[in-house]
Amino acid sequence: MFHQENGSLVREFAGETLVIQPWGKDSLRVRSTMRSKFENEDWALLPRPRIESAGIVIANDGSASITNGRITARIDPRGQIAFFNQKGEVLLQEFIRARFGNLQTGDGQIDQEAIKYFNSALKIYPRECKAILGGDYRLTVRFESRPEERIFGMGQYQHGFLNHKNCVLELAQRNSQASVPFAVSSSGYGFLWNNPAIGKVTFGKNTTEWVANSAKQIDYWITAGDEPGDILHNYAEVTGKVPIMPEYGLGLWQSKLRYQTQEELLAVAREYKQRQLPLDVIVVDFFHWPMQGEYRFDPDYWPDPAAMVKELEAIGVKLMVSVWPTIDRDSSHFAEMRDKGLLVRTERGVAITLDFLGDTVFFDPTNPKTREYIWNLIKQSYYDKGIKIFWLDEAEPEYGVYDFDNYRYYLGPNLQVGNIYPLTYAQGFYEGMAAERQENIVNLVRCAWAGSQRYGALVWSGDIDSSFESLRVQLAAGLNMGLAGIPWWTTDIGGFHGGVNDDPAFRECLVRWFQFSAFSPVLRMHGDREPHSKPLSTTGGGKCASGAPNELWSYGEEVLAILEKYLRIRERLRPYVRSLMAAAHEKGDPIIRPLFYDFPSDQGAWTVEDQYMFGPDVLVAPVLYESQRSREVYLPVGTRWISHGTGQLLNGGQVVAESAPLDHLPVFFRENGSARL
């Protein structure tokens, strides 16, 4: 039943092959298949590190165990897997409700070996492979639940909860939802569902259940850590780390729904310079092209991109351009890409994946030939003109209808591989830029999957609502994204949809959002502001309308003064932010994280969901409600804190009341910490 193979523990029973192997520090990879052999895909994982010295024990009672550092997996005679830390404490164990053999021996006595195991008539097994007629399997893996356990990470969901316990999460990509299936548990483990299939996870009170709607094999990775930082560091070692954030990533990025002409964009950059407001990046948004899929500037509105880049560089501003994966049927590349199999296919019906200002089909970045084809177009039209930052929009991709079963990629059906789309989208640009010997690569991406971080993905939270409610949701989303191993995260300041420039309520929301973003990984102005301006024409890049102005001075002098104040604070924090970016690159630390990340022994820190740490030395208590002018702040134990508002030195382990007028965000600095203003 059990044997060892290349440092792995293998169990073969009733058609199932189960393999547990060491994969990184204090970590194990678990795979199971009912097929004749395993698929040769590592998915989110980097190639296996050198084979660690694993301790494998095969017992005479039909059980076995494998140990790698601080984690041990034990398989009992029923096939149930349980994971233990170095203290022998259970981290996680599979859920099984079934009978184990006959409780009587041949002479009619009770079999004491059999009675050790819980017996049930429910016939529920921990690993389930239900065959899909004519296809592969619907996979389910069940684990015992601890009602008091807290679950974090998992990417970006718009439900507003930091703790996912008792939540059901769809494992699928949507606009503003990024499924990154890595969970960090308060019980001392991290768990990666290493499967890009569409599915769901239920972190229930009675059971934890992972489901892939269509897949070939079970595949997950688990690590043990005494502290959350240990878990994230182990995860980063096996899935990759972000590059070094370049200097322009530390300052302000200026964007709006959309600058319509080259001269309009340059005028904005010049005004920033004239007002002596620091600006690092400015953005050319969508429909600067004559048609989707052309991947070039429309010369009627952007006559000299190279000269534009040169002028911006002269004043210290980088240019980023938007790229969409949509190929219009009337574009010059559509027929060739279709014929070469570079587009997403539909299983039934007409191949239309998004209908927005044209009849378009998404390109398929899971195909290496597609990635090469698209990069060659990008290089010719943008990169060779000096543009070195790209905005990879529509990265889920955003289907007109999310019928996941109706789309097929090069790597397989969407149901089996769909969640990997944004990773391969970022991969194509990263590899193309790296081939040009560019270092410190960063691209803004509207979605991610496990491992996207290694391709320089700066993820933002999508087309979200402009409201305080949405701001509260983004706080939880950003913290969980960091705990899912994606340290580069940003959000549209003020939200994307619905902000009216001269509305006092929206201006208040924008101010509070900007203050929060000043203490976030990337400070980025963007949004679809009202009222809209009209399209410039009915053809090419002129047929797309634009939003109202969205520069710092667009909201009146009072708002400008506050935004400038926090922009200056961000600038003074550059050395500190630079050190946070280095820690993300070197170890995988999130830039923003819940209080418990830095204070894991403080039980009070585990329950706080409306504050966060900006690195190890800055505690931020964002203002998340309209008209709120004060708030309570919990200061973790183990250090003393300096109030940015009052200058008071305060002991940790207490709740303090902090004033929060509109021009002030409650922020506290760790005594003797490295952050300085």
Catalytic positions:
393, 396, 463
Q: Which amino acid is at 513?
A: W
Report in angstroms the alpha-carbon separations of 407 from 269, 350, 397, 483, 524.
Answer: 42, 11, 11, 30, 33
Euclidean distance between CA atoms 246 and 650, whole angstroms: 35
Euclidean distance between CA atoms 155 and 137, whole angstroms: 25
Euclidean distance between CA atoms 285 and 302, whole angstroms: 12
Taking the CA atoms of residue 339, residue 342, residue 348 and residue 352 in that order, the dihedral angle to the nearest 10 degrees is -100
Beta bridge partners of 625: none
Q: Are 676 and 642 in contact (CB under 8 A)?
A: no
For residue 57, count other CB atoms closer than 10 A to its CB.
13
358 Cα distance to chain centroid: 30
Parallel/antiparallel/unpaired status of strands 326-328 and 318-323: unpaired
**Cα end-to-end span (Å), the chain:** 63
Euclidean distance between CA atoms 113 and 76, whole angstroms: 11
* 3-class state of residue 468 by DSSP: helix
Peptide bond into 348 cis (omega under 30): no
Token pair of 525 as six digits: 């102005």
Helix (H) or strand (E) holding 348: none
Task: Give the phi and the psi of residue 149 in degrees, each rounded to 5.
Answer: -65, 145
Q: Are 44 and 171 in contact (CB under 8 A)?
A: no
Rg of the chain over Cα atoms, rounded to whole angstroms, equals 26
- Single out the residue of 514, 583, 475 nearest to residue 245, CA to CA: 583
- Single out the residue of 587, 591, 580 nearest to residue 483, CA to CA: 591
Euclidean distance between CA atoms 483 and 480, whole angstroms: 5
Biggest alpha carbon–alpha carbon distance for the chain: 96
Q: At what angle do helices 557-572 and 504-518 cross, to 10 degrees?
A: 10
Helix (H) or strand (E) holding 138: strand 137-144
- Single out the residue of 608, 575, 582 nearest to residue 594, CA to CA: 608
Beta bridge partners of 28: 22, 222
Q: Are 255 and 264 in contact (CB under 8 A)?
A: no
